[in-house]
Structure 1
Amino acid sequence: KSTFISVISHELKTPVALIKGYADALSREDANWDRDTIQNGLAVIEEEADRLAELIENLLAASKLQAEGMRLNLDDVYLPRLAEQAIDRFQTQTDRHQLVAHFPPAFPVIQGDVVRLRQVLDNLLSNAIKYSPDGGEIVIRGSYDDQSVQITVSDPGIGLPPDQLERVFERFYRINNRQTQKAQGTGLGLFLAHAVVNAHGGQIRATNNQEGGATFSFTLPRRE
């Protein structure tokens, strides 16, 4: 409980302070801001509001998971469409990253919970952007065989310490080094992604890319 309160208090404080600070500054009657300054201030407010929305969504999902377990509403899910929708949402939040998706033809429809699987893709894309501070191309790829489908999200970012590749899926766990200190997060996104994939009978893992950055991949069983 103390860890929960500490993490959430810290993560809420920063975006709230930034939103209030920029809103107060832009509303000053004695200031004559130029258009660029106003646009930059509004962009910061929008970005921090998005961070708050993501934080609240993850908190609610984690709380519900702890109270009720993972309940799935199964339906037909076409993952290429979910990936394109996720890219459309996140591309508007960054001009330093190029988000692309590659899926083979005739990608199979699976049985899954579309809301939960959308949350998995959102959390993986959010992480990829967050830990690729220099920008670059982030790629969602799909593949399949007779038994399962696989989705990978690869980024050109800072990568992961090899001894922490499994721990990143623990609740509240955050990598603690100089490269990750500037990235905001609660350590809930990957925990929730892991829970959702497991509830679908799948697996999720993290690996480092030889050329730098990290890849998160998850497999889900195909519909019988």
Structure 2
Amino acid sequence: LLVALPPRMRPGSYWTITRITLQVLLPMGVLILLSTVLYHHIMNPLRELDAATQAFSNGNYLVRVKEQLGSRDDELAHLSQTFDSMADHIGDLIMRQRQLITDLSHELRTPLTRLDIATETLLTTDKADAETLQRNLSRVHRESAHIRKLVDDTLTLSWLENEQPDLRNESVDIAELIGIIVEDARFEYPDRTLVVNMPGSAIIENTNHRALGQAIENILRNALRYTPAGLDVIVDLIASESGYEIHVSDKGPGVPDQHLRAIFRPFYRVEKSRPTDGSSFGLGLALAQRQLKAICASIKADNLAQGGLKVSIQLPHR
């Protein structure tokens, strides 16, 4: 059975246009719209990353990307987190280096000024007596050694902070090491009494003789420097379940509680509570903390109830 539609009901040329629209133009429009949305979804965070990279390279070390991307959780968000972590690390490293250079420049001024005065006196005095000549030469030698130690300590500190080395490659008898350091300290500070409580032997694996020795020496020198003549400094070596503990307790003025963590910062001094004799740069405890970190040990400081400061080292069995 065939039914013929009247001419007015038969599809005209508009059907061809409708078919082209439905089959070609509409899918193409949807595709263009989706492509535009996808383009902006991908390119916007990439532009943020590019802008942040440019800003960071121009010295803006506080620029971050993740907060600009909102709550999205995809590969680009993870990339932005990686960038922020890198920026945190590098920015902190650069700022610490700048601060270190600033502090070093400040610390060098005083010995350089004294060195200039001594050398100028030597150059301008025609007929100086032997005593004056010897005094100025001794001053030049002392200030030169002062500057050399300051620079050496700063370079060591910078290396430990930048490289963050793992120095756990030796076994050390801590008791023997402390004994050597204490004997040297007794020779240097004959007017202080050093009391040592430790076992005959205390061997620990996976540590470093030089790093541990320098850390203990810096802590002990710091305690002796601030302990008045005639008083004692106590060194305790105690075995614990996790390893060994070393406690160095002095009879100095102590440190205000709010400064206890800050004393491990480079060139930090608590001027009012712990006066210095001019031989301290404020680097000893900072060096000790970083040397101990390189052997996976830790350090902390506490005020003693009876007065004075106790610095404690935790050495793990590893």
The alignment's TM-score, normalised by the length of structure 1, stands at 0.77
Secondary structure of the corresponding residue to residue 188 of structure 2: coil
1:5 to 98, 101, 110: 101
Partner of 2:175 in structure 1? Answer: 80
Q: Which amino acid aligns with 1:137?
A: D
1:166 to 261, 267, 270: 261
Matches within 5 A, 1:88-103: 88-103=183-198
Partner of 2:164 in structure 1? Answer: 69
Partner of 2:129 in structure 1? Answer: 31
Q: What does the per-residue CA deviation read over 1:17-44, in whole Å, with 9 as the maximum and x for residues that have no partner?
A: 5567678889x8642549xxx79x95x7
Change (3 A) 1:17 1:132: farther
Secondary structure of the corresponding residue to residue 175 of structure 1: coil
2:231 to 133, 136, 143: 136
Task: Tell me, in whole angstroms, the C-alpha distance in 1 between the residues paired with 2:220 and 2:143.
Answer: 17
Greater relative CO (CA pairs within 8 A, separation 6+) = 1
Segment of structure 1 superposing worse, 204-213 or 168-177? 168-177
Task: Tell me, in whole angstroms, the C-alpha distance in 2 between the residues paired with 1:47 and 1:89.
Answer: 20
Change (3 A) 1:176 1:159: same
Please tell me whether the aligned partners of residues 138 and 156 of structure 1 are also in contact (alpha carbons under 8 angstroms): yes
Q: CA deviation at 1:11?
A: 2.8
Change (3 A) 1:86 1:45: farther
Task: Tell me, in whole angstroms, the C-alpha distance in 2 between the residues paired with 1:211 and 1:48.
Answer: 37
Residues 1:127 and 2:127 are matched in the alignment:
no
Change (3 A) 1:93 1:19: farther
Please tell me whether the aligned partners of residues 255 and 309 of structure 2 are also in contact (alpha carbons under 8 angstroms): yes
Change (3 A) 1:49 1:95: farther
Q: Which amino acid aligns with 2:226?
A: Y
Change (3 A) 1:181 1:188: closer
Task: Tell me, in whole angstroms, the C-alpha distance in 1 between the residues paired with 2:144 and 2:220.
Answer: 18
Please tell me whether the aligned partners of residues 161 and 290 of structure 2 are also in contact (alpha carbons under 8 angstroms): no
Change (3 A) 1:30 1:191: closer
Q: Which has the larger radius of gyration?
A: 2
Segment of structure 1 superposing worse, 61-70 or 181-190? 181-190
Please tell me whether the aligned partners of residues 173 and 187 of structure 1 are also in contact (alpha carbons under 8 angstroms): yes
Q: CA deviation at 1:181?
A: 5.9
Please tell me whether the aligned partners of residues 251 and 307 of structure 2 are also in contact (alpha carbons under 8 angstroms): yes
Secondary structure of the corresponding residue to residue 165 of structure 2: coil
RMSD: 3.4
Please tell me whether the aligned partners of residues 11 and 184 of structure 1 are also in contact (alpha carbons under 8 angstroms): no
Task: Tell me, in whole angstroms, the C-alpha distance in 2 between the residues paired with 1:143 and 1:216.
Answer: 14
1:210 to 305, 308, 314: 305
Task: Tell me, in whole angstroms, the C-alpha distance in 2 between the residues paired with 1:14 and 1:89.
Answer: 28
Change (3 A) 1:192 1:70: farther
Q: Could you say which structure has the higher helix fraction?
A: 2
Please tell me whether the aligned partners of residues 234 and 248 of structure 2 are also in contact (alpha carbons under 8 angstroms): yes
Partner of 1:157 in structure 2? Answer: 252
Q: Could you say which structure has the higher strand fraction?
A: 1
Please tell me whether the aligned partners of residues 131 and 183 of structure 1 are also in contact (alpha carbons under 8 angstroms): no
Q: CA deviation at 1:114?
A: 0.9
Unaligned runs of 5+ in 2: 1-96
Q: Which amino acid aligns with 1:8?
A: L
2:290 to 174, 190, 195: 195
Unaligned runs of 5+ in 1: none
Change (3 A) 1:110 1:18: farther
Q: CA deviation at 1:155?
A: 1.1
Q: CA deviation at 1:58?
A: 1.8
Aligned residues: 220
Change (3 A) 1:179 1:150: closer
Identity %: 26
Q: CA deviation at 1:107?
A: 2.5
Secondary structure of the corresponding residue to residue 218 of structure 1: strand
